[in-house]
Structure 1
Amino acid sequence: MERLNSNLYFQNCYIMKENERLRKKAQLLNQENQALLSELKQKLSKGNPIPNAGSNTIPDLHLSSSTKTNPSSSSN
């Protein structure tokens, strides 16, 4: 029983370290995302158009994935 408790304790420690690592990574990604969003807002406020913004065609993102799916499964 004591050995099981030790194993669970070490697993718990590993999970807590991994959670902390992932939390820090998520924090960095969030900061990067906020910086990119701020940059985009600045560009838009200066009147710089978004590439392809003048185009009236919107690409259908479902076209590429629909050819790979099984038609019988999508008919549900």
Structure 2
Amino acid sequence: MERLNSKLYMENCLIMQENEKLRKKAQLLNQENQALLSQLKQRITMGAQNGSQTTNGTHASSSGSRNP
């Protein structure tokens, strides 16, 4: 019985270590997703601003391949 408890304890320790690794990886992925979402929002905002400037008769230069 004691041997079984020791084995289960060791398995539990390994699972907790793996769990911690996965938690850290998830945090990094979440940070990366937040950064990408922020960049996407900036691009959408810049695109909307450029579009409104074009429709108001002024043209802002953009890096896109759209014709004015």
State the TM-score, normalizing by the size of structure 1.
0.61
Matched, 1:8 2:8: yes
Runs of 4 or more consecutive aligned structure 1 residues displaced over 4 Å after TM superposition: none
Report the equivalent of 1:47: 47
Number of equivalences: 49
- Which structure: larger Rg? 2
5+ residue gaps in structure 1?
A: 50-76
SS of structure 1 residue aligned to 2:47? coil
Report the equivalent of 1:72: none
Report the equivalent of 2:57: none
Identity across matched positions, percent: 73
5+ residue gaps in structure 2?
A: 52-68
Which is bigger in relative contact order (C-alpha 8 A, separation at least 6)?
Answer: 2
What is the alpha-carbon distance in structure 1 between the residues aligned to residue 47 and residue 14 of structure 2?
Answer: 50
Give the drift of 1:23.
0.3
Give the drift of 1:44.
0.5
Give the drift of 1:5.
0.4
Give the drift of 1:33.
0.2
